[in-house]
Amino acid sequence: MKNNRIIICLCLIILNILSVLSIYSSLHQAQEFKNKKLLYKQIIWITLGWIILFVFSFINYRIYFDFSYFLYGINIFLLLVLEIFGKEIMGAKRWLTLGGINFQPSEISKLALLILLSRIFSSLDTQKIFLKKIIFPLILVGINFFLIFHQPDLGTALICLFLFFFFGFSSRLKKVYLIIPLVSGILLSPLAWHFLKDYQKKRLLVFLNPNMEPQGAGYTIIQSKIAIGSGRFFGKGFLSGTQNQFNFLPERHTDFIFTVIAEEEGFLGSLFLIFIYYLLLKNILAIAQKAKDEFGLLLGKAIGGLFFFQIFVNLGMCIGILPVVGIPLLFLSYGGTNLIMNFLMLGIIFNIEREND
């Protein structure tokens, strides 16, 4: 099993290098390096992330079972505090400031839900299954969903729902129990339109027709497609992407960092990145499968599932097959809270490997 850990570390090192190089490139405009502070912050977060990974790899993952409801309570508390004291940026209240450092409580929500749902679905209680395994966890997930949706953060809110159904289908629960909430959610989803912000509605509309507002809501996705397509097979080379260097593409150091890689490294570079993600996920699941308890198995599989969902949605929105929902690319996009939490989750994976070796 040590081979799994070694491969994950190698994949992580490659992703860290790609992150630094891509962010460095994205901060250039007409060959002039701007906003250097963002690059330095990313390097600091990556360094801190490795330390956190190392520390959490020695914390027995079974302790999270006992503290699952406590962690969920802290998560809800932070989301409620965010409603009152949150820092609003570009119309969204997603950040809390502590000691001069901004962080996103919604990123902590992912881990809290992962641990809590792992506990709920790993227990073998056969009494009142529908109430305890469907209704109860769905209410807990729903609280998280609505608090995060209200920020607004549609991408992370959807991750909450994804986690619920992922656990349902991954556990030994009869799949027929999931049909009612799944069908109900699909039937009620059109009602959610009335609760979306105007910019979120535009994002969904331009997903269906990007040319509807080529200079407005559809601008980013149009420029993303142009950048990816212009990279062709071999790419234009480092610091040579025109959409990137001439500032045509917004948010290219965060949600759309994949377009920087695709434009500069082309189809081959994009394929290499996907292969690295494949190796990362494959080895995470290999470690999870060897867990000797149901809690460890579900927790490991859920971390792998969460990573896959974030990768799939981000790449999908960059190439235009999914609407833009603001989900960063795993271990590549600029951002501290998301990066640190992903490192922490890998620390949990390493401990699952250590405790079941």
- The pLDDT tens digits of the residues spanning 101-123 come to 788 899 999 999 999 999 999 87
Which pLDDT band, with edges at 50, 70 and 90, does 259 fall under?
very high
Helix or strand holding residue 197 (H, E): none
Whole-prediction pTM value?
0.93
Question: Residue 127: its pLDDT value, please?
Answer: 66
The span from the CA of 141 to the CA of 213, in Å, is 35
Three-state secondary structure call for residue 96: strand
Give me the residue label for tokens 């890689």. Answer: 261
Among 66, 297, 272, 321, CA closest to 171: 297
> Quick check: 323 pLDDT over 60?
yes
Distance from first CA to last CA of the chain, Å, rounded? 7
Q: Helix, strand, or coil here: 213?
A: coil
Q: What is the pLDDT of residue 313?
A: 95
The full set of domain ranges for the chain reads 2-355
Provide the pLDDT for residue 126.
Answer: 62
Whether residue 124 has pLDDT greater than 70: no
Pairing state of beta strands 32-33 and 28-29? Answer: antiparallel
Cα torsion 299, 300, 305, 306: sign:
positive
pLDDT confidence band for 294 (50 / 70 / 90):
very high
Most confident range, picked from 24-38, 86-100, 118-132: 24-38
For residue 350, give both structure tokens: 């390493």
259/153 Cα distance (integer angstroms): 22
How would you label 316-343 residue by residue, b for 16+ Cβ within 10 Å and e otherwise? Answer: ebbbbeebbbbbbbbbbbbbbbbbbbbb
> Would you call 59 exposed, middle or buried from its count of C-beta atoms within 10 A (0-12, 13-18, 19+)?
middle
Per-residue pLDDT, 54? 97
CB 111 within 8 Å of CB 154? no
Phi, psi at 95, each rounded to 5°: -120, 135
Tell me which DSSP letter residue 131 carries: I
d(CA 236, CA 169): 43
237, amino acid identity: G
Higher local confidence (pLDDT), 131 or 80: 80
Answer whether residue 203 shows pLDDT above 80.
no
